Chain A
Amino acid sequence: MKSVKVIVSFVLTLSLFSFPSSGFQSDELLLDDEEFGLEGSPRPRSPEPILTRSPPVTAPTRKRHSDLDSDSKIQFSLEHAFGDSDFSPAGTFSARLKTWSHGGQTLTKLRFSRNSFTDEDKEKFKNLLKSDDFYRIRIPSNVLNPPGRDFVISSVKARCLPREGLDEHFVIHMEGINVLAVNYGSPGSCPYPRNLKLPAKWSFNSHTVLKNSEQAPRAPVFTEEILGGENAEGEVVPPPERSFWAKYWMYLIPLGLIVMNAVTQAMNMPEEQATGQGQPGAVQRGPSPAARRR
């Protein structure tokens, strides 16, 4: 029974020594997390980008929302250009304009309908593919009164688009009702030696993502506990119990083993005594009080 106790106490001290920091939990950080909700952005921005996957549009006149004359619905057009040609309409974005109580306006539920290529467009696009030239698009920088200050332009090498059909991917960076930038390109990779590949079918497979600005992480706010530790120049001396264990563990463990051994010996001794005559070896090994008593 004794040996079990000793072992338990050993394990306890061992665990105490080896994980000194596990006991410390800064509750300040949790408070800080709560503050994020309270003091964070006054404007409720959607932190997650809204992903709308417009189905591959085959019919060019599939404007479901255009007839509905609600002022919360808006439309703005996409225009494209082949190489250095002039821009011409290529599709329509439609979205819901949400007005917040504090006056901010944001777009949600963005949908996109692409006009399919005419034969002339196809010919132009084929030329672009052959010469590895740029396919350019633009959208107005202000969606309420286009084109705003200027158009936001983006372009991609035409050879990046064709896959099965024509795959395109829009990321529209918004700030309220202003379009800052549009990233246009293929949804996947476009490795450098771009090979000439004609699309199997001339329909667009469009993905659109609307992105708003992220909130920057704020500097952590700590209380004096840690700072105080930094400033405590006088307390350079390491904690004594830790250093003691760290220094002498190699002695302590054998010592512990010896003690344990001795204790078990001592426990076995009376039993042996009870059963038969004491052995000289046992006497030699440990001058136990029981042996002396004999």
Chain B
Amino acid sequence: MAITYAVLLFLIFYSFQPTLSLYEDQVGLTDWHQQYIGKVKQAVFHTHKTGRKRVVVSTEDNVIATLDLRHGEIFWRHVLGHNDVVDGIDIALGKYVITLSSEGRILRAWNLPDGQMVWESSLHGPKHSKSLLLMTNVIIEKDNVVVIFSNGRLHAVSCIDGEVLWNKDFEAESLEVQKVIQPPGSNFVYVVGFAASSQFEMYQINATNGELLKHESEAFSGRFSGEVSLVSSETLVALDSTGLILLRISFHEGKISIQQTPISDLVEDSPGPAVIIPSSIMGLFTIKINAVTIFIRVIGKGKLEVVEKANHETAVGDALSLSEGQQAFALVQHAGRDIHLTVKLAHDWGGDLLKESIKMDQQRGLVHKVFINNYVRTDGSYGFRALIVMEDHSLLLLQQGTIVWSREDGLASIIDVTTSELPVERAGVSVAKVELNLFEWLKGHMLKLKGTLMLATPEDIAAIQYMRLKSSEKSKMTRDHNGFRKLLIALTRAGKLFALHTGDGRIVWSRLLQSLHKSEACQHPIGLNLSPWQVPHHHALDENPSVLVVGRCGPSSDALGILSFIDSYTGKELSSSRLVHSVAQVIPLPYTDSTEQRLHLLIDADKHAHLYPETPEAISIFRREFSNIYWYSVEDENGIIKGYALKSKCNGNVDDKFCFDARELWSIVLPSESEKIIATVTRKMNEAVHTQAKLIAADQDVMYKYVSRNLLFVATVAPKASGEIGSVTPEESWLVVYLIDTVTGCVLHRMTHHGSQGPVEAVFSENWVVYHYFNLRAHRYEMSVIEIYDQSRADNKDVWKLVVGKHNLTSPISSYSRSEVVTKSQSYFFTHSLKAIAVTSTAKGITSKQLLMGTIGDQVLALDKRFLDPRRSVNPTQAEREEGIIPLTDSLPIIPQSYITHNIRVEGLRGIITVAAKLESTTLVFAHGLDLFFTHFAPSRTYDSLTEDFSCALLLITIVALVAAIFVTWLLSQRKELQDKWR
């Protein structure tokens, strides 16, 4: 009997799970995937060998990648963990990529052609310090040696197997090592640094065995500032802490001499303190005073000479050794719309090796970094290629005065995403260039027909596949009937806005926001939030939709805010403003004015509310709803949640009609010794709920969902347990979850999971919350569901009452009524840890929901919500089974076919966004991290449309053939009848 049961269960399991997987030929039809690496920090070229030329890069997103120098494609890529920051990279032996990461603790070697890890060694040291990586040409027992200074210790590591050959501690408390230098042709290294910021220390170390050869120090009357530039193998240039005196430090043959030169001696009208730009170009260094870049040459014994003052924005690259001891370096200067790339010899300022002018897209901003590489031209002279990193984090390769390729790596760091509809197709708007002519259309359908009738040759199949993938239908710039074509508008960390077409993922427009540009008044602008500002509907259809970007000048919450309004179709910045108040919260209100501009409430750090747009009409709309506006704030560090309502106009000294005072309505104070907030989740504002009643077939009953927009889910853990998993015992860790009404502050539900801990990922939809956490007792991840039902409407199930009209279903619901809710909850084990969780959303909310989970393997897994139904029981009754209740199991199944990313990984997955299409069955899913992935997803299959491969031509031909047959037979029968009559 048990077997019978098990098999039955198995069958039920499989019959409920809709097939989500796709066929091989469906890949790429509705989905696209883009790979990025982030802003490049360091680049090393590998071009000596014949064969594929490549460049190795490390990025600010902790990625190590090699790119094809011809096309900019990624050969291989490794994403290190978020706390494994890359400190330095280099190439050893011509075949290994050596990376130093994790604050100098981990040294790895990767095989250059395929990116496999060759060895890894961990380096430890007595104290925290700067991490430096130096590739030497010293050979110990046939091993090439790489010298690493990290954590106050100097290590020599073999390049072959990563073995530490020797190490030496630099234990002096205050020593800050600045450089490790190997003079060419010697087998010792210099370790130089500052002690107590006023003493220069020099150690000469034998590179073959780590023996200390010499130690000298020299005191300096002032203090050193941090950075140094190397001007020869035994000379450094530094600045004192005031930034007014240049220090030339020479340690030739162990004799230290410090020579001071006031900057005012070199530059006549130096307006302020200078900053040194660290470099290691022989005989030349660069300082920056305000926006002016000054190049200074070191001539002979201690003579300094200014060679150029550049007023334009300038980026300087590091030195590149050419043959016969010559060094070249690159500088890039902006001049209007062009950039000038100059490659100069270090010892000869006047002679330019290369001077090119390249037209640059204004939306890429300034050049931040430049890396050069040389090659031998066909005529035997030196040619140079330059890799430049722009302000918008994009990466470009310049060669022979043109941009060979570019990568939009800003898209690796998306902050916020919103969507916008495309323009409506109108008679006047011509889309002819993407339209197919009749012949091609017919040809396509004939091919499809052949495919359906299995008559197609392999070439035909390839042609069909190509046609399907490149279908012009999906990448048109107009709105479609199903609502699949939209613009995804993404704000990146660099302050650039991208509009991506959902059809094929191409960039429709991109704009580096001028308002989020660094300026005098705003030193560290950051983008915060992106929200639809104007969505033209019925009476404002002629206008383009626009989005609102909210930013602020700096990371702290009391920095002043920035607003920018951008046209969604063209990317034009319509207007922007610098606010006089800070921005702590952005609340889109559910009201729009006559031009369909959405009213927004911006809450500043002092709890004043500011209304936008600042128009009299907005004020009058706002006045009507004045008493119905509530909001809340969560102070995670204090563990206090507060609710507010509007009080009156601001009574500060400024007369601002659009500023309002808030009054505190409620507060929830969580005990700081036992609870710490780790997650808060609310429902999506635009979510559609199809029905508020839930029919329970088992006992012919109706339950009413408690569908409130003002619900907040809060998860707290014991403060001790807020660290990593396993840092506490189950007895001293617990997870408490709350459901709070944000209007009244009423705690609708509170529940404790003992022995559990975060991190918590949660999603709130309709009347349920699903959250994911770690159960320390069971040593497994768990997912729980809470469903909340309204009891106050429960007596409306009498049909007679509904018929007579004695029900309270149409009466408005007030939060001030005492809520009678019941909650149902259940927990299940789950195998994966999660990075993100989302739920599908459809246009009308009729389609059943699926949870989309970003797994630790950077994939998106779909799971039917029915697996997280608190009514699941071990042995459901027949009626419950008919309703679709799945027998209870202790863990949630992971069905391999339900990975909606199929075989693709969305590296560094951070967020999953779902947008409803117009077609009820389908939801658009956009997952972003380092990579971008987009697909259409139908939680209950596409029940409301024909499939992609449905052959209209076959249907038409069949109908035509039938009609013809009818006609012919009719004629024939007529004729026969006539003949019969004549006979």
Contact = CB atoms under 8 A, between A and B. Distances in A.
Interface string A67-92: 00000000000000000100000000
B404 interface: no
A219 B778 contact: yes
Interface string A47-59: 0000000000000
Given A154-B744, A189-B817, A236 B784 contact: no
A34 interface: no
Given A153-B667, A220-B888, A211 B874 contact: no
7 contacts: A150-B669, A176-B671, A181-B666, A183-B746, A213-B750, A222-B889, A235-B7
B671 A178 contact: yes
B647 interface: yes
Interface in A214-234: 214-222, 225-230, 232
A173 B740 CA distance: 12
Interface centre among A181, A213, A230, A242 (most CB of B within 10 A): A181
A191 B811 contact: yes
Contacts of B828: 219-220
Contact of B4 (A188, A189, A219, A242): A242
A228 to B, nearest CB: 7
Contacts of A132: 627
A219 B744 CA distance: 32
A216 B888 contact: no
A134 interface: yes
A2 to B, nearest CB: 31
A244 interface: no
A226 B11 contact: no
Contacts of A150: 640, 667, 669
B744 A156 contact: yes
A192 B812 contact: yes
Nearest first, the 5 A-B pairs at minimum CB distance are A229-B6, A189-B817, A178-B671, A192-B812, A141-B669
Contacts of B893: 230
Interface stretch (A17-25, A113-121, A279-287): A17-25
B751 A228 contact: no
B138 to A, nearest CB: 58
Interface in B345-402: none
B664 to A, nearest CB: 6
A229 B814 contact: no
A120 B664 CA distance: 24
Interface centre among A171, A190, A226 (most CB of B within 10 A): A226
Interface in A138-170: 141-142, 148-157, 160, 169
Interface of B: 1-11, 13, 627, 638, 640, 645, 647, 663-672, 674-675, 731, 736-737, 740, 744-747, 749-754, 775, 777-778, 782, 784, 792, 811-814, 816-818, 825-829, 874-875, 887-891, 893
A211 B749 CA distance: 10
A37 interface: no
B11 A232 contact: no
B818 to A, nearest CB: 6
B669 A180 contact: yes
B672 A149 contact: yes
Contacts of B675: 175
Given A181-B745, A213-B750, A214-B750, A21 B817 contact: no
Contacts of B2: 24, 225, 229
Nearest to B777: A39
A293 to B, nearest CB: 47
A120 B642 CA distance: 29
Interface in A239-260: 239, 242
Contacts of A175: 671, 674-675
B668 A152 contact: yes
Contacts of A264: none
A213 B752 contact: yes
Nearest to B647: A84
Contact of B8 (A21, A149, A169, A183): A21
A101 interface: no
A214 B751 contact: yes
Interface of A: 20-21, 23-24, 26, 29, 39, 41-42, 84, 132, 134, 136, 141-142, 148-157, 160, 169, 171, 173, 175-176, 178-181, 183, 185-194, 211, 213-222, 225-230, 232, 235-239, 242
B812 A191 contact: yes
Nearest to B892: A219
B792 A189 contact: yes
Contacts of B665: 134, 136, 153-155
Contact of A239 (B7, B775, B826): B7
A189 B827 CA distance: 33
B818 A169 contact: yes
Nearest to A42: B731
B810 to A, nearest CB: 11
A230 B9 contact: yes
A214 B875 CA distance: 26
B7 to A, nearest CB: 5
Contact of B829 (A215, A219, A238, A239): A219
B751 A216 contact: yes
Nearest to A159: B816
A151 B675 CA distance: 17
A176 B640 CA distance: 17
B816 A232 contact: no
A13 to B, nearest CB: 15
A181 B747 contact: yes
Nearest to A20: B4
Contacts of B7: 229, 232, 235-239
Nearest to B7: A235
A222 B890 contact: yes
A178 B674 CA distance: 10
Contacts of B777: 39
A183 B752 contact: no
Nearest to A218: B827
Contacts of A237: 7
A129 to B, nearest CB: 14
A160 B1 CA distance: 60
A8 B2 CA distance: 26
Contact of A219 (B8, B9, B664, B827): B827
Nearest to A228: B6
Contacts of A214: 749-752
Contacts of B889: 220, 222, 226-227, 230
Contacts of A230: 6, 9-10, 13, 889, 893
A152 B671 CA distance: 11
Contacts of A20: 1, 4-5, 8
Given A181-B668, A183-B744, A232-B10, A220 B817 contact: no
A42 B2 CA distance: 36
A199 to B, nearest CB: 17
Contact of A216 (B6, B9, B778, B827): B827
A156 to B, nearest CB: 6
A230 B894 CA distance: 12
B708 to A, nearest CB: 14
